[in-house]
C-alpha cells in the first residue's frame, strides 16, 4: 500500500504515544477503538526491562465486547513518511506489535478509517496476556530498562489518561498497588 492512501495520516495512541508521541501533531481527537483493550500484556526487554528481567508495557489485546479509549493524532502534513519511519523503529523493535490500520470512533461523533494502530501479536513470545493484575504490579514495580523504570511508564500513562478525561480503572489500581510494592521493597 502506498503512503498516499493514508493521507492525512492518523495514529491511534493508547499508551505512551499519548504523553510522548514523538512526531509533529496537527490535530488530536478523543477516540475509541472497538474490539480491543489496553493491557499490560507485552514483555518489555528493550525499553522498560531487559531480557534477563523483562518489564511490561501496554499493548492492544483483541477481546470480545472490549473497547479502548485513547487519542487519535493527525500527523502534520508533510511529515507522514518520517512519522511512519519513526513509529516503525519505535514500536516494531522486537516484532511483538503488529502494524495495522483500524477504524476508530470519535467521541465528538463520526469515525476515522485507516488509522495507524499498533496491536499485540498474541503468537509472539513476548505476549503475556495471561497475567493477573497482581502479577503485573509485581513486575512493573521492579523492572528497569533503557528508557527507565517500568513504573514511570505506568504513572505517566495513567496520569495523562486521567488529565484528558479517559480514566482507566485497571491502570489506576496498578498505580496504587505498584506504589505499595515499591514502598515495601525500598531499602531502609
Could you list the active site residues?
91
Q: How many CB atoms lie within 10 A of CB 6?
A: 18
Query: In this structure, are residues 163 and 74 in contact, taking their beta carbons and an 8 Å threshold?
Result: no
Beta-sheet strands, E only, within the chain:
10-13, 25-44, 55-75, 97-106, 111-120, 144-145, 148-149
- Cβ burial of 47 (10 Å; 0-12, 13-18, 19+) is middle
Report the distance separating Cα 36 and Cα 102, nearest Å: 11
User: Hey, what's the cell of 156?
Assistant: 505517566
Longest dimension (CA), the chain: 58
Strand partners, 42: 57, 127
Amino acid at each position: 500500500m502506498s503512503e498516499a492512501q493514508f493521507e492525512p495520516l492518523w495514529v491511534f495512541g493508547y499508551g505512551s504515544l499519548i504523553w510522548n508521541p514523538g512526531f509533529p501533531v496537527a490535530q488530536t481527537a478523543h477516540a475509541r477503538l472497538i474490539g480491543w483493550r489496553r493491557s499490560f500484556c507485552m514483555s518489555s526487554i528493550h525499553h522498560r526491562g531487559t531480557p534477563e528481567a523483562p518489564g511490561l508495557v501496554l499493548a492492544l489485546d483483541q477481546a470480545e465486547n472490549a473497547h479502548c479509549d485513547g487519542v487519535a493524532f493527525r500527523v502534520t502534513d508533510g511529515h507522514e513518511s518520517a512519522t511512519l519511519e519513526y513509529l516503525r523503529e519505535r514500536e516494531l523493535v522486537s516484532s511483538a506489535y503488529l502494524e495495522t490500520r483500524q477504524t476508530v470512533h470519535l467521541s465528538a461523533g463520526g469515525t476515522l478509517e485507516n488509522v495507524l494502530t499498533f496491536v499485540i501479536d498474541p503468537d509472539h513470545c513476548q505476549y503475556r496476556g495471561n497475567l493477573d493484575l497482581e502479577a503485573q504490579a509485581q513486575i512493573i514495580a521492579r523492572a528497569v530498562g533503557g528508557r527507565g523504570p517500568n513504573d514511570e511508564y505506568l504513572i505517566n500513562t495513567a496520569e495523562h489518561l486521567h488529565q484528558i478525561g479517559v480514566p482507566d480503572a485497571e491502570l489506576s489500581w496498578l498505580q496504587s498497588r505498584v506504589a505499595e510494592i515499591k514502598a515495601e521493597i525500598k531499602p531502609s
